[in-house]
Chains A and B, each alone.
Chain A
Amino acid sequence: DTAVSQTPKYLVTQMGNDKSIKCEQNLGHDTMYWYKQDSKKFLKIMFSYNNKELIINETVPNRFSPKSPDKAHLNLHINSLELGDSAVYFCASRGGTVNTEAFFGQGTRLTVV
């Protein structure tokens, strides 16, 4: 059973399009994250939700909008895609106590052409 699953795994799209990436976790965790990994492999936190509430919102263009319909899901919608949005996007989840580790999905490789 996949603990944190993302769909799609690969996404190729044209500039200006709108796309969504879905994430689901079956671990019963309260907190979920979106991270962006660029071409140099740098990992940068984008958003975090705790029990469907946004708690971290880093300096991310407002073309990126996370949505958490319930605490098991955290989707990422991107409007007006740009070339610079090409990256691997990782979803992660974590249990409620402060000393727990995060579990990561397999990533979604987004390529904007």
Chain B
Amino acid sequence: AQSVAQPEDQVNVAEGNPLTVKCTYSVSGNPYLFWYVQYPNRGLQFLLKYITGDNLVKGSYGFEAEFNKSQTSFHLKKPSALVSDSALYFCAVRDGNTGFQKLVFGTGTRLLVSP
């Protein structure tokens, strides 16, 4: 069964500094990886995904993520954080070979960007 780990409950970063939100995954087949963001009292918004190809994936709002197969990681990054990036971030994985309909989420990481 697929699983996702987000080891940090919260990440604090100052505005203008780079940010990284960590994610590691476990699947038996090919991983399809996703990042979502949730603002207070809102649904989840899709940021970016890795399916195949280039390990560096670019997404919405200046976010990017790097797929690392050997480390089974898919960390979310942004070169310069904004206060408005403060939100709850979820990493998710789908197994491309088996159970491809099932999207499993990590426990979420709260990003707090201070002015």
**Chain A residues proximal to chain B, CB less than 8 Å:** 4, 31, 33, 35, 40-45, 48, 50, 55-56, 90, 92, 94, 98-99, 101-107
Interface contact B34-A45, CB-CB below 8 Å: no
Does B104 make an interface contact (CB < 8 A)?
A: yes
Contact A43 to B90, CB < 8 A, known contacts A99-B51, A102-B103: yes
A104 near B104: Cβ-Cβ < 8 Å: no
A43 and B42 contact, Cβ closer than 8 Å, known pairs A31-B101, A101-B34, A101-B49:
no
Using CB atoms, name the residue of chain A closest to B99. A56
CB neighbours (8 Å) of B32 from chain A are: 98-99
A-contacting residues, B40-74, CB 8 Å: 41-46, 49, 51-52
Contact of B43 among A48, A50, A90, A94 (CB under 8 A): A90
